[in-house]
Chains A and B, each alone.
Chain A
Amino acid sequence: MAESKSDILQGTLDLMVLKTLDAMGPLHGYGIARRIEQISEETLLVNQGTIYLCLVRLVQKGWIRAEWGTSENNRKAKFYSISKSGRKQLIAETENWERVAGVIGRLLQLGTRR
């Protein structure tokens, strides 16, 4: 288990999954993994299976819903979609993220001025 990496990035991964589902509508696990890989340029997921650990956690928290359906090429797949409380969480997390990012950014700039 790449404990340290997933630990640090767990919150980030949650946020990315929520954002992805919010932006793109219902998606299956593979689709989400692909999307995140594309955006993060493969730095986030050690392997794609990790996404399912994140997904089950979010389902259990009630932020996303899972439903069996058929994929575009007629394959049985589980589709995930964001729930109402998930949206709320996304907004809160986003704000939080931006605030932290702003603080960190300013802090780092302080460092370079020396």
Chain B
Amino acid sequence: MLARLKRMVARLRAWFHASELDSDLDEELNSHLAMLTEDHIRAGMSPEQAQRAARLELGGLTQISEEHRAVRGVPFFDTLLQDLRYSFRTLRRDAGFTTFAILVVGLGIGASATVFSVVDALLIRPLPFSEPGRLVWIANDGQEGDLSGQTVTVGSHIDLRDQAHSFSDIAAYFAFYGDGDKKMTGAGEPERLTGVPVSQNLFPLLGIQPQLGRIFTAGECQGDLPVVILSGGFWRTRLASDPHIVGRTLTLNDRAVTVIGVMPSSFDFSSVFAPGSRIDLFVPLPLTAEVDREGNTLSMIGRLKPDVTLRQAQAEASLLSEPIRIRHNRGDLRFKLSPLEEHVRGRLRPALFVLACAVAVVMLIVCANLSNLQLARTASRRREMAIRIALGAGRGRLIRQLLTESVVLSCAAAVLGLLLAIVGTRVLAHLDALSLPLRESVHVDLGALAFTLLIAVLTGLIFGLLPAFQAPSAAIHDSLKDSNRGSSDGKHHAWVRSTLVVSEIAFACVLLVGAGLLIRSFLRVLDVNLGFRPEKAAAMRVDPSPRYNTRALRNAYFDEVLRLAKSVPGIEAAGLTDVLPLGHNRSWTAGAKDQVYSVAHPPPDEFVRIVSDGYLKSMGIALVAGRDLTPSDDASGKPVMLINETLAHILWPGRSAIGRTMQVDVDREVVGVVGDVRHLALEQGSGCEMYLPIRQTDDYALVDLVVRTSLPPAALAPAVRSALRHIDPNLPGNEFRTLQQLVDKSVSPRRFVVLLLGGFAAFALVLAALGIYGVVAYAVNQRTHEIGIRMALGASAQDLQARIVLQTLALAAVGMLVGVAASWLLTRALTGLLFGVTATDPVAFLGMLVILTSVAAVAGYLPARRASRIDPMMALRAN
């Protein structure tokens, strides 16, 4: 064992000192010769005879030193170096092919490496917390998208935390923090910041240390104390990484708060828990009775004890939920546990899986394409091969050399691919309009580098294998005969190349169908009736400042805001709301007064919107029956409300809802029925909705002004802002959003997948077209002679063209047949991503057939046209 190791080291060293050792051996052999000759002379030979005999006995000097080199060094390296040198030379000579190959493979590898980096960051890399595998998301088992249904009260949280034994700790954050809740003034332009109230134990539970200062103390989390922890990103971008920030104060919502700490940049709360938004601050979450009265508001994260499984913890939590529910008199409480990992990433998995498969298919097409090109090249390099064989190169050596060439090619392409991946991931990480969790952490890391290298070598081997094994046998057939025409020699060859093209077409088929289905779904989603009209509408935060401390003062403020907004030229309607579509949602439970509810027949859950008069008009929500709210629906007026059609139908099926009474916060009369709004997501129905007048309640956390304009909304921002400056000089300027932006953000993940898959499909289509063109053009080239004869015998140009195009289409048809069958099976994996189309959507399949057929026809027509222009005399004379 030791001897073998020693020898390995010695061989490596010998390889590096080859020339030194060569001369050493030379000298040794010379002295050997001399001694042998002397002995022969001593035995009575003449000097000439002795020398000759000595040479014979010793053996060929060149041969000995060659074998010596092989025994003492690493012959593998020698061959490799030779092959590399040779590859570089041939590739440089064939610059056109090399450029094309590097481009195609580079694009493929770039796409693969990018998708790998995305999948790695979004799915594989552990969450950036300590022992993330033991973290669980503890939700209430409510409706998806309804935050109230998935959160719990402070009381329930405390009870579970204190009673459950499965967890080493349970922390919470306030899920109803509003984007831009904290208005920062006194440091340049007023600005809206987003702060999340977190429980004292959240950071220790996640295992995150502040990079500056400290975290909240238990005392600070008792009441609403003026302390704040900054997110790393906010500290870096807004405060220029001020190292002395701890202890300083910021003015938030007109109140001085002290900065006590800064979290590390690596801890990106929003990218894990609130993708697509930005979190600037963390404030203490007081677990008090006051917050408890706000109802279901907390999202919980627990850390399992080391020996407890998720199933055990779930069993315990389920057991505890009923007593806790009764103790706090809640209508709904069922703890539902899932691994935090799953909560953050589960949704992404199907889409990313599809993308990964798609990119693998693209790589296969790239390989098939390159294989085909290499085959064509080796065909034209037969003479070179034959000469090398004649000079004594073994078949293995030739194969090795050709494989080296392929790998060199794909490694060069990998450099290009890596550059593309670096650019691609950087763009992606900074694409703020795309709401995907953990998106910011996408980058090319060591893993991606290793992956790229691996895929480069693999690609080179795969696309090089077939041509490499074809080449030497072809060379042996023809040896050095000067015949390059032969209509019979390429039979096998042509078959291999056709098979490659057929598989390319089949792969492209699958990608095109997949992309087609997703594009159709995307269009269907965009086509959905939202229930509101996002175009030409915009929203702006106008929270009343704390100094409007009575309802009357606030109502006067709202009147003024609406009056000023409407006075801006170009504004057609203005209204207020506490929640915009496609953002947070909260729900209450409320029933009709004229109905009896029981445990078996509970009152429905309704999404709550607190709105003003003019909101329906500015949003473009349809009023189906009754009337809109008016400014007189205020504190002094009768409590009223609007409901949506779904709720009206559930409460009073077949009867008019107008004039009926619902028990909400107080008894309210239904004065209008409005159309359903897709508030949760474009793909999701609206559920029950109710609208309460903002002048009759205080139960809202923030206020958005929605305006409808006849001008492009973005152009209006300065006018609206300056109009509102009259009542609030500190109005921040960073919160003017068009409703279209909200819609775009909501569909951004889907758009992302569609764009990528569409890109892959287009790339595949181009490659398939090139593959078809290559094969047909090559065949035409090979058959010049035959075509010449046919033309001489009277075949017309049209005949010939039709014949070649038909042959091409036959090839494409075989590919499409295989492709359709494969798509039929594979697109089922897409089902979860589809909307409004089935996995076997005939339009997508037919569309693919039309596109591929026409592409194949064009790819076949070009060489066909060239063939029909062959001059028969020239073709026949050429041989």
Spell out A's residues near B (CB within 8 Å): 1, 28-30, 33, 46-50, 52-53, 56-57, 59-63, 71, 73, 75-78, 85, 89
Which stretch, B6-14, B123-131, B377-385, touches the partner chain A? B6-14
Residue of A nearest to B25 (CB): A52
Q: Are A47 and B59 within 8 A (Cβ)?
A: yes
Hey, which chain A residues are within 8 Å of B31, CB to CB? 28, 30, 71, 75-78
Which one of A30, A60, A73 contacts B14 once the chains associate, using CB atoms below 8 Å? A60
Q: Are A30 and B36 within 8 A (Cβ)?
A: yes
Spell out B's residues near A (CB within 8 Å): 2-4, 6-7, 10-11, 14, 24-25, 27-29, 31-32, 34-36, 38, 56-61, 63-64, 67-68, 71-72
Hey, which chain B residues are within 8 Å of A62, CB to CB? 2-3, 6-7
Q: Apart from A47-B58, A49-B60, A60-B14, what 15 extra A-B contacts exist at CB < 8 Å?
A: A28-B31, A30-B31, A30-B35, A48-B36, A49-B64, A50-B64, A52-B29, A53-B64, A53-B67, A59-B10, A60-B7, A60-B10, A62-B2, A75-B31, A78-B24
Distance from A47 Cβ to chain B, minimum over Cβ atoms (Å) = 3
Contact (A53, B68) CB under 8 Å given A48-B58, A60-B10, A73-B38: yes
Residue of B nearest to A42 (CB): B57
Q: Are B3 and A49 within 8 A (Cβ)?
A: no
Q: Are A52 and B6 within 8 A (Cβ)?
A: no
Distance from A87 Cβ to chain B, minimum over Cβ atoms (Å) = 13
* A75→B39 CA distance, assembly (Å): 13
23 A-B residue contacts at CB 8 Å? A1-B67, A28-B35, A29-B32, A30-B31, A30-B36, A48-B57, A49-B29, A49-B61, A50-B59, A56-B72, A57-B7, A60-B7, A60-B14, A61-B3, A61-B4, A61-B6, A61-B10, A62-B7, A71-B31, A75-B35, A76-B31, A78-B24, A78-B28
* A59→B9 CA distance, assembly (Å): 12
Residue of B nearest to A6 (CB): B67
* A89→B59 CA distance, assembly (Å): 30
Hey, which chain A residues are within 8 Å of B35, CB to CB? 28, 30, 71, 73, 75, 77
Distance from B740 Cβ to chain A, minimum over Cβ atoms (Å) = 75
Residue of B nearest to A46 (CB): B59
* A1→B67 CA distance, assembly (Å): 9
Q: Are A52 and B28 within 8 A (Cβ)?
A: yes
Task: Tell which of B4, B36, B71 has the most Cβ of chain A within 10 Å.
Answer: B71
Hey, which chain A residues are within 8 Å of B11, CB to CB? 60
Distance from A103 Cβ to chain B, minimum over Cβ atoms (Å) = 25
* A78→B38 CA distance, assembly (Å): 17
Hey, which chain A residues are within 8 Å of B32, CB to CB? 28-30, 33, 48, 77
* A67→B72 CA distance, assembly (Å): 17
Hey, which chain A residues are within 8 Å of B71, CB to CB? 53, 56-57
Which one of A50, A61, A77 contacts B28 once the chains associate, using CB atoms below 8 Å? A77
* A71→B36 CA distance, assembly (Å): 13
Hey, which chain A residues are within 8 Å of B10, CB to CB? 59-61
Residue of A nearest to B27 (CB): A76
Residue of A nearest to B13 (CB): A60
Residue of A nearest to B32 (CB): A30
Q: Are A48 and B7 within 8 A (Cβ)?
A: no
Hey, which chain B residues are within 8 Å of A77, CB to CB? 28, 31-32, 35
Residue of B nearest to A47 (CB): B59
Q: Are B58 and A49 within 8 A (Cβ)?
A: yes
Q: Are A60 and B72 within 8 A (Cβ)?
A: yes
Where chain B touches its partner, the secondary structure class is helix
* A52→B61 CA distance, assembly (Å): 11
Hey, which chain B residues are within 8 Å of A33, CB to CB? 32
* A29→B29 CA distance, assembly (Å): 9
Distance from B246 Cβ to chain A, minimum over Cβ atoms (Å) = 64
Hey, which chain B residues are within 8 Å of A76, CB to CB? 27, 31
* A58→B72 CA distance, assembly (Å): 10
Hey, which chain B residues are within 8 Å of A85, CB to CB? 2-3
Q: Are A49 and B38 within 8 A (Cβ)?
A: no
* A71→B32 CA distance, assembly (Å): 11
* A16→B4 CA distance, assembly (Å): 20
Residue of B nearest to A61 (CB): B3
Hey, which chain B residues are within 8 Å of A56, CB to CB? 68, 71-72
Residue of B nearest to A60 (CB): B10
Residue of B nearest to A89 (CB): B3
Distance from B606 Cβ to chain A, minimum over Cβ atoms (Å) = 85
Hey, which chain B residues are within 8 Å of A57, CB to CB? 7, 71-72
* A73→B42 CA distance, assembly (Å): 13
Which 6 residue pairs spanning A and B have beta carbons closest together? A47-B59, A60-B10, A49-B64, A49-B59, A61-B3, A60-B7
Residue of A nearest to B33 (CB): A30
Q: Are B28 and A63 within 8 A (Cβ)?
A: no
Residue of A nearest to B70 (CB): A53
Distance from B857 Cβ to chain A, minimum over Cβ atoms (Å) = 58
* A60→B35 CA distance, assembly (Å): 25
* A77→B32 CA distance, assembly (Å): 8
* A28→B268 CA distance, assembly (Å): 73
* A89→B150 CA distance, assembly (Å): 75
* A10→B28 CA distance, assembly (Å): 21
Residue of B nearest to A75 (CB): B31
* A17→B154 CA distance, assembly (Å): 88
Which one of B3, B4, B25, B57 contacts A47 once the chains associate, using CB atoms below 8 Å? B57
Contact (A75, B34) CB under 8 Å given A49-B29, A49-B64, A60-B14: yes
Distance from B190 Cβ to chain A, minimum over Cβ atoms (Å) = 78
* A7→B6 CA distance, assembly (Å): 22
* A30→B61 CA distance, assembly (Å): 15
* A71→B35 CA distance, assembly (Å): 9
* A52→B57 CA distance, assembly (Å): 14
Hey, which chain A residues are within 8 Å of B38, CB to CB? 73
Hey, which chain B residues are within 8 Å of A47, CB to CB? 56-59
* A76→B28 CA distance, assembly (Å): 8
Hey, which chain B residues are within 8 Å of A30, CB to CB? 31-32, 35-36
* A1→B64 CA distance, assembly (Å): 10
* A85→B7 CA distance, assembly (Å): 14
Task: Tell which of A47, A49, A56, A89 has the most Cβ of chain B within 10 Å.
Answer: A49
Residue of B nearest to A50 (CB): B59
Hey, which chain A residues are within 8 Å of B4, CB to CB? 61
Hey, which chain A residues are within 8 Å of B36, CB to CB? 30, 48
Hey, which chain A residues are within 8 Å of B68, CB to CB? 52-53, 56
* A99→B4 CA distance, assembly (Å): 24
Distance from A59 Cβ to chain B, minimum over Cβ atoms (Å) = 8
Which one of B14, B28, B57, B67 contacts A29 once the chains associate, using CB atoms below 8 Å? B28
* A75→B36 CA distance, assembly (Å): 12
* A73→B38 CA distance, assembly (Å): 10
Q: Are A61 and B7 within 8 A (Cβ)?
A: yes
* A60→B15 CA distance, assembly (Å): 12
* A49→B36 CA distance, assembly (Å): 12
Residue of B nearest to A37 (CB): B57
* A103→B67 CA distance, assembly (Å): 34
